[in-house]
Amino acid sequence: MQNLLVTGGCGYIGSHTALLLLEKGYTVYIIDSNCNSNPFVINKLKKIIMKKDKQLAKNLIFFKGDLRKKKDIERIFEYSKHNNKIIEAVVHLAGFKSVNESMKYPLMYWDSNLIGTINLLKVMQKYLCYNLIFSSSATIYSCLENKLIDENFPIKPINPYGNTKRCIETLLEDIYKSEKAKWKIINLRYFNPIGAHHSGDIGEDPNGIPNNLFPLILQVASSKLRELKIFGNNWDTRDGTCIRDYIHILDLANAHIAAFEYLSKTKSQIINFNIGTGKGTSVLELINTFKNVNKIKLPYSFTSRREGDQKYIVADNSRALSTLNWKPLKSLEDMCRDGWKWQLKNPNGYIDN
Ligand SMILES: NC(=O)c1ccc[n+]([C@@H]2O[C@H](COP(=O)([O-])OP(=O)(O)OC[C@H]3O[C@@H](n4cnc5c(N)ncnc54)[C@H](O)[C@@H]3O)[C@@H](O)[C@H]2O)c1
């Protein structure tokens, strides 16, 4: 397999994944509505890849389109067919991702995440493309203990965003069962990707005030926000703040390459992988590492717990380590250093460029 479609390829995870795929010599089609991204990222990707090899930049083909419109997806598959570079596999990342927003606007989340996926699957079937890597999330797990989460942990999301991810996984299970000989499906359950490409040329560029901790840290560090609000200091953890499994965005992006290479040589199946480092870091530990590595102040204060939060979400990543040709290589220090480099180089995200 040589030609892939990355849905949501202008976004945070999509842009880093597309870059690594291009570096490996694959043809990468991207479809993105840019509802939470800037199309300028395509120029950035071309610029980075051209430094390596001018020819590779030609392998990046961008279509602006919305997965909620089936025609938009058909257009790109049709194009790939006409150009004799038919899409053979899809990395499906397009969707909304904020837990808080999903609690305010559940319909918007169900519409984009579910309808978008249903349309994509219909078009994939029409064009006989049966290879899929889906961006699922650790938010589908219900974790009440301070225990590593493996793929067999109970699935019990506690917010609409997590519900859409669980529902899509169920849909994929059904699709697989209906044509077992054809489909190869991998659900990658991401933990907490942070940081940026080491060049500092691409990174996370959220619209408005971000919801996730790391982009908030970047905004406080660059004085866009006065201080960081930490939700709760009375959790049953080593320092009272929540513990998460932070993974460098390039390690996460690399998991897609490994998953794709696994799909290419394996028999039809559906399989889930946790993509995390297996190491838990508390909010205070992340803040302190960021401060020390980048020699910068980060004012913070504590506020009450946030609805829908869980105290401890850390991956047991042993299935991914033993099955995929992959392991996370970067440290928490690398994540903090590379994320800050992106922020310094692009203080207003992609808008300035
Ligand atoms: N970032 C995380 O911490 C995290 C964790 C777990 C899972 N995920 C999942 O990974 C995927 C990518 O996350 P991200 O952090 O890169 O988010 P992102 O918002 O940066 O990227 C998503 C991209 O999809 C596009 N998009 C959204 N709806 C679309 C639609 N209907 N049609 C076409 N394009 C659309 C957006 O414009 C954006 O470019 C999401 O599905 C998210 O739920 C992310």
Average pLDDT over residues 308-316: 90
Does any domain span residue 37? yes
Give the pLDDT band of residue 170 (cuts 50, 70, 90): very high
Does any domain span residue 61? yes
127 belongs to the catalytic site: no
Least confident segment among 303-312, 313-322, 337-346: 303-312
pLDDT at 310: 86
Give the pLDDT band of residue 352 (cuts 50, 70, 90): low
Rounded Cα–Cα distance for residues 316 and 311 (Å): 16
Statement: the pTM of the whole predicted model exceeds 0.75:
yes
DSSP alpha helix (H) spans, the chain: 12-23, 41-52, 70-82, 99-104, 106-109, 116-126, 160-178, 213-221, 249-265, 283-294, 318-323, 332-345
Least confident segment among 49-58, 88-97, 290-299: 49-58
Q: Are 188 and 253 in contact (CB under 8 A)?
A: no
Does any domain span residue 211? yes
Task: For residue 192, give the ligand 1 atom closest to its CA.
Answer: 3
Q: Are 62 and 34 in contact (CB under 8 A)?
A: no
Rounded Cα–Cα distance for residues 96 and 153 (Å): 24
Average pLDDT over residues 235-254: 97
- Domain encompassing residue 108: 3-345
Least confident segment among 32-41, 137-146, 157-166: 137-146
Does any domain span residue 352? no
Which residues is 290 bridged to in the sheet? Answer: none
Which residue has a Cα nearest atom 26 of ligand 1? 94
Q: Are 30 and 43 in contact (CB under 8 A)?
A: no
Name the token pair of 186: 């991998």
Average pLDDT over residues 117-135: 98
What amino acid is encoded at 179 in this protein? E
Average pLDDT over residues 278-296: 98
Q: Is the pLDDT of residue 208 over 80?
A: no
Give the pLDDT band of residue 146 (cuts 50, 70, 90): confident
Q: Is the pLDDT of residue 205 over 70?
A: yes
Name the token pair of 92: 């499906």
Q: Is the pLDDT of residue 266 over 70?
A: yes
Give the pLDDT band of residue 209 (cuts 50, 70, 90): confident
Does any domain span residue 46? yes
Rounded Cα–Cα distance for residues 235 and 225 (Å): 25
Average pLDDT score, the chain: 95
Residues having CB closer than 6 A to ligand 1 are 8, 10-14, 31-37, 66-68, 93-95, 97, 112, 116, 135, 137, 190, 192-193
Give the pLDDT band of residue 161 (cuts 50, 70, 90): very high
Name the token pair of 101: 């927003």
Task: For residue 205, give the ligand 1 atom closest to its CA.
Answer: 20
Rounded Cα–Cα distance for residues 179 and 210 (Å): 40
Task: For residue 165, give the ligand 1 atom closest to its CA.
Answer: 43
Rounded Cα–Cα distance for residues 140 and 253 (Å): 20
Does any domain span residue 351? no
Residue 225: CATH number of its domain = 3.40.50.720
Least Cα distance to 110 among 66, 168, 59 occurs for 168
DSSP state, residue 238: S
DSSP state letters, 325-350: S------HHHHHHHHHHHHHH-TTGG
Per the residue annotation, which of 130, 161, 262, 312 is the catalytic one? 161
Q: Is the pLDDT of residue 353 over 60?
A: no
Does any domain span residue 350? no
pLDDT at 84: 94
Q: For residue 207, report the distance from its CA to the centre of ligand 1, in Å.
A: 12
Q: Are 246 and 191 in contact (CB under 8 A)?
A: yes
Q: Is the pLDDT of residue 10 over 80?
A: yes
Domain count, the chain: 1
What amino acid is encoded at 199 in this protein? S
pLDDT at 100: 86
pLDDT at 351: 75
Phi then psi dihedrals of residue 34, to 5 deg? 60, 30
How much of the chain, in percent, has pLDDT values that exceed 90?
Answer: 90
Rounded Cα–Cα distance for residues 40 and 32 (Å): 12
Tell me if residue 78 falls in helix, strand or coil.
helix
Which residue has a Cα nearest atom 27 of ligand 1? 95
Q: For residue 295, report the distance from its CA to the centre of ligand 1, in Å.
A: 31
Does any domain span residue 353? no
